[in-house]
Chain A
Amino acid sequence: MNSSKLTYLLICAVAASLAATGCKKKPTPITPLPGARAGVPGGERPSELPEGGRLGPGEPVSTGGGALAGLEEFEGMLADRAALAAHTVHFDFDSAVVKRSELPHVEAVAAALKADPNVKLLIEGHCDERGTEEYNRALGERRALALREALVKRGITPVRIRTISYGEDRPVDPGHNEEAWAKNRRGEFILLRPK
């Protein structure tokens, strides 16, 4: 009795699975996400970069005079965030224009670069949260590029300057008011020293 019941269940299961796969299309089979560990909540194994393999840039293309310096020029340098921290430049809402009132900061940074030909500069562009995310990522880059241009006008060679945009992802003030937003719309100067 027991074994015939078991056989019956087995046959039912076979019939059901055949009906499900062979004849009827629904339900759609789940596509398991590879790397997932069954039963571990949120347990997707992080896919790591291939070990040892060097990450090459895409193919270079020729660009105009405003092109940026290669990232390799800045490899291995030590970031000194404190040196120019007092010279953070702030921007108006949705603007990448360096205001006249901010120019003394630009002058100070230009002087620091002129004083030591071995140092280079990283300019971080940041935004407040009032903008869509990828728009802000582009706006942050524009702010950093505007500061780079202001420094170039003051005699700094562009190959010493690198830009990076964090969009709205790195606020100094996490608040959601005008006071916080004004602080977050900024360009920060990080001095890069040789090792």
Chain B
Amino acid sequence: MKRFLNQPLVARAPRPVARHRGCAGLVALGLWLAVARAPGQSDVVDIVREIVPGATRPIPVSISGFTGEALEVIQFDLFVQGFSFTAPDTAQFLLSGSNDGSLTGRATDRINKSLLVNKSYTGATLRRQAHAFVEDFIRALGRTPIDPSKKIAFKLDTGANSEIYVADFDGHGAQAVTRDNTIVAAPAWVPGRLALYYTSYRLGNPDIFFHDLSSGQRRVFARYPGLNTSAAPSPDGRRVAMILSKGGSPDVYVADADGGNLVQLTQTPADESSPCWSPDGRWVCFATKVNERRVLAKVPASGGPLQIITTRGISNPSEPDWSPDGKWIVFTAQMGGFEICVVPAGGGTATVLVSGEDPCWAANSRTVIFARRQSGRRVLSLLDVPTKQVKDASRFSGSSSQPSWAR
């Protein structure tokens, strides 16, 4: 059994028969790892489950053996999920491996010496292999890692116009999905699908489009007189919340995914903006004004009275996004500049995290992507909410903003 530990997992076996044996060996190794990990597990979990927004210490790791692009990816992924880098003797976990050709990675707990990951990766790109290694490591700690197959969509300014782009979550491999030569904005992924809603002025009005990236087909979803924007599909993808002004003021509406069954959720003289859903699909949360004060509020998705979500300690909240685990709402507060803040989903005292705007949770309910302003333009950046660690995604030539992270 032990000899498997010293071998890369993808059978670089000397004999063809290794095809079957290698597979059985992998299963056996998996079982062995599961058993071997058990004793040390409680030590690890205590630390990684402590998530106080902005007040959690990063977990020190030591990295050796990786180079170039693979090393960059591993460091990026670890940093935006709450790890810091240190020497082997002060690290809690030791990550080692190589990326000569394909990537091989090991992760061990320095204290109790347990082996958490020992794998070789093949296929795809070296970047993908590096992402997968970090994903395996974080999963071995009992946490939900960022799923590197989940893309981000964002608005990229192209001179006077803007278009929608999609990219890996770190900004790598960006591709345009619209060429409308006008303003296109406010992209939002449909949960579990390679499909987006966004606002395009292509038909001379801000209208909401649905765009299936698998087929390339798109259609107009909402084209009412006035403003049609800020589409937010429900967690089950069957309904869409949005802002329409056809009733004489920007209000929150919901419709079925086919555009029918339109219901007006708010009827205020103030302008609502940026709707989002609670993960159970029962509430729609948004920004509005009550008694001339800007607040976050929610209404039942089936209609009902408006409830204010208190955000003590900050002013001018907007752009809420409800965490997939249901616990937090991340939002932008405008207090001179723009600040990314979190508040418990039921309301309470808000915690100011970092400067930035338009935050969006990853599926792990831990990492947030947002836009921060830098010399007159916006740059996409990732934030690990518990540790407040921030790292910019790949830079683009124009101003990039309004990120949506696929869930």
- Please, what's the 1-or-0 string for A45-63, where 1 marks a CB less than 8 Å from any CB in chain B? 1111110000111110101
A119 to B11, CA, bound (A): 76
Which of the segments B38-46, B118-126, B301-309, B381-389 contacts the partner chain? B118-126
B22, B123, B219 — which one has the most chain A CB atoms within 10 A of its CB?
A: B123
A68–chain B nearest beta-carbon distance, Å: 4
Assess the A28–B213 pair: CB atoms within 8 A.
Answer: no
A17 to B128, CA, bound (A): 16
Which residue in A29, A50, A68 is a CB contact (below 8 Å) of B225? Answer: A68
- Please, what's the 1-or-0 string for B228-245, where 1 marks a CB less than 8 Å from any CB in chain A? 011000000000000101
A195–chain B nearest beta-carbon distance, Å: 15
CB-CB < 8 A to B211: which residues of A? Answer: 47
A134 to B248, CA, bound (A): 18
Total residues of chain B contacting the partner, CB 8 A: 95
CB-CB < 8 A to B194: which residues of A? Answer: 31, 33-34
Total residues of chain A contacting the partner, CB 8 A: 68
Which residue in B216, B260, B332 is a CB contact (below 8 Å) of A45? Answer: B216
From known contacts A26-B136, A33-B166, infer whether A19 and B22 are also in contact, taking CB-CB under 8 Å.
yes
Assess the B13–A134 pair: CB atoms within 8 A.
Answer: no
Assess the B215–A34 pair: CB atoms within 8 A.
Answer: yes
- B10 CB-CB contact with A under 8 Å: yes
A53 to B177, CA, bound (A): 20
> Can you pick out 27 interface pairs between chain A and chain B where the beta carbons lie within 8 Å of each other?
A15-B22, A17-B122, A23-B23, A27-B122, A28-B132, A28-B148, A33-B166, A33-B194, A33-B213, A34-B194, A42-B175, A46-B177, A50-B219, A57-B224, A58-B259, A63-B247, A66-B247, A67-B248, A132-B274, A132-B334, A133-B358, A137-B199, A137-B227, A139-B271, A141-B250, A163-B227, A166-B201
A: residues with CB less than 8 A from B are 11-12, 14-20, 22-24, 26-31, 33-36, 42-50, 55-59, 61, 63-71, 96, 130-135, 137-139, 141-142, 145, 162-167, 169-170, 176
Given contacts A15-B11, A145-B248, 5 further A-B contacts (CB under 8 A): A19-B26, A23-B27, A27-B122, A134-B230, A163-B245
